[in-house]
Amino acid sequence: MEDLFSQHERDTEFKHAPLAVRMRPQSLEEFVGQTAAVGEGSWLRLAIEHDVLTSVILYGPAGTGKTTLAHIIAHRTRSEFVEVSAITGTVKDLRREIDAAKQRLLQFDRRTILFVDEIHRFSRSQQDALLHAVENRTLVLIGATTENPYFEVNGALLSRSRVVELVHLFDADIERLVCRAIDAPAGLAGAVSLDSEVIHALVVLAAGDARAALTSLELAAEIALQHTSKRPAPVTLEDVQLANPRRGLIYDKSGDMHYDIISAFIKSMRGSDPDATIYWLARMIDAGEDPKFIARRILIQASEDIGNADPQAICVAEAAFKAAEVIGYPECRINLAQAALYNALAPKSNAAEAAIDAALADVRSSSTREVPAHLRDRHRPGSELYGNYLYPHNYPEGWVEQQYLPDGLEPGSFYQPSGRGWESWRMEQLGGHRSTKPQETPPAS
- 143 and 91 in a single domain? The answer is yes
- 153 and 184 in a single domain? The answer is no
Cis peptide bond N-terminal to 330, omega within 30: yes
Q: For the chain, how many structural domains are there in total?
A: 3
Choice between 20 and 245, residue whose per-residue pLDDT is larger: 20
Assess if residue 122 is contained within a domain: yes
Pairing mode of beta strands 140-145, 233-234:
unpaired
CB 166 within 8 A of CB 65: yes
Of 287, 293, 346, 348, whose CA–CA distance to 321 is shortest?
Answer: 293
- 46 and 97 in a single domain? The answer is yes
Q: How confident is the model over 330-349, as a mean pLDDT? A: 95
Task: Give the pLDDT of residue 436.
Answer: 36
Q: How confident is the model over 142-157, as a mean pLDDT? A: 87
Assess if residue 235 is contained within a domain: yes
**Separation between Cα atoms, residue 166 and residue 48, nearest integer Å:** 16
- 217: which residues sit within 8 A by CB, 6+ positions away? 19, 178, 181, 182, 188, 202, 235
Cis peptide bond N-terminal to 232, omega within 30: yes
432 has pLDDT over 80? no
In the chain, % of residues over pLDDT 70: 92
Segment holding 145, helix H or strand E: strand 140-145
- 156 and 211 in a single domain? The answer is no
Buried b (16+ CB within 10 A) or exposed e, 7-42: eeeeeeeeeeeebbbbbbbeebeebbbbeebbeeee
Task: Give the pLDDT of residue 444.
Answer: 45
CB 389 within 8 A of CB 403: no
Buried b (16+ CB within 10 A) or exposed e, 372-411: beeeeeeeeeeeeebeeeeeeeeeeeeeeeeeeeeeeeee
Assess if residue 152 is contained within a domain: yes
CB 182 within 8 A of CB 33: no
Task: Give the pLDDT of residue 273.
Answer: 95
Task: Give the pLDDT of residue 4.
Answer: 54
- 213 and 278 in a single domain? The answer is no
- pLDDT, one tens digit per residue, over 175-193 is 999 999 999 998 999 999 9
Task: Give the pLDDT of residue 387.
Answer: 85
Final residue of a structural domain among 345, 364, 383: 345
CB 240 within 8 A of CB 202: yes
Assess if residue 98 is contained within a domain: yes
Asked whether the CA dihedral 397, 400, 405, 410 is positive or negative, the reply is: positive
Which residue range is the domain that position 91 belongs to? Answer: 34-165
Final residue of a structural domain among 345, 360, 375: 345
- pLDDT, one tens digit per residue, over 191-242 is 999 999 999 989 888 888 899 899 999 999 999 999 888 889 999 988 988 8
Q: Which regions of 220-340 does DSSP assign to beta strands (E)?
A: 233-234
- pLDDT, one tens digit per residue, over 300-326 is 999 999 999 999 999 999 999 999 988
3 has pLDDT over 70? no
Buried b (16+ CB within 10 A) or exposed e, 158-183: bebbeebebebbeeebbbbbbebbbe
**Separation between Cα atoms, residue 438 and residue 445, nearest integer Å:** 16
CATH number for the domain spanning 127: value is 3.40.50.300
- pLDDT, one tens digit per residue, over 66-107 is 989 988 988 888 889 898 888 888 888 889 999 999 999 999
Task: Give the pLDDT of residue 434.
Answer: 38
Average pLDDT, the chain: 87
**Separation between Cα atoms, residue 202 and residue 192, nearest integer Å:** 14
Task: Give the pLDDT of residue 7.
Answer: 64
10 Å CB burial of residue 338 (0-12, 13-18, 19+) is: middle
CB 91 within 8 A of CB 194: no
Side chain identity at 154, as an amino acid letter?
A: N
- 131 and 38 in a single domain? The answer is yes
Task: Give the pLDDT of residue 206.
Answer: 84
- 131 and 101 in a single domain? The answer is yes
φ/ψ region of 65 (left if φ > 0, alpha if ψ in -120 to 50, else beta) reads left
- 206 and 290 in a single domain? The answer is no
